[in-house]
Amino acid sequence: MKRLVVGSRDSRLAIAQSMSLIRYLKEALPDMEIELVTMKTSGDRKLDRSLFEIGGKGLFVKELDAALREKRVDITVHSLKDVPLVIPSDLPLLGFSIREEPRDVLVLPEGKEKGCRFDTIGTSSLRRGLQLKKIYPDISVKPIRGNIETRLRKLDAGEYGALVLAAAGLLRLGLEERISRYFSVEEIIPAAGQGILAIQGREGEDYSFLEGYLDSAAEKEAVCERAFTAELGADCTSPVCAHAVTQKGLLCLTGLYFEEETGKYLTGTIKGPVEDASLLGAELARTLRERSGREKKL
- Which of 222, 198, 239 is CA-nearest to residue 79? 198
- Considering only the top CATH level, what class is 104-182? alpha beta
Overall average pLDDT of the 144-162 stretch = 95
Overall average pLDDT of the 172-195 stretch = 96
**Residues 28-85: pLDDT tens digits?**
999 999 999 999 765 554 544 444 444 445 566 889 999 999 999 999 999 999 899 9
Active site residues: 82
This model's pTM is above 0.85: yes
User: What's the one-letter identity of residue 34?
Assistant: I
Q: Does domain 215-298 sit in CATH 3.30.160.40?
A: yes
Asked if domains 104-182 and 215-298 share a fold, the reply is no
For the chain, domain boundaries: 1-98+196-213, 104-182, 215-298
pLDDT at position 48, please? 47
**Residues 223-238: pLDDT tens digits?**
999 999 999 987 656 7
Q: What architecture is the 1-98+196-213 domain classified under in CATH?
A: 3-Layer(aba) Sandwich (3.40)
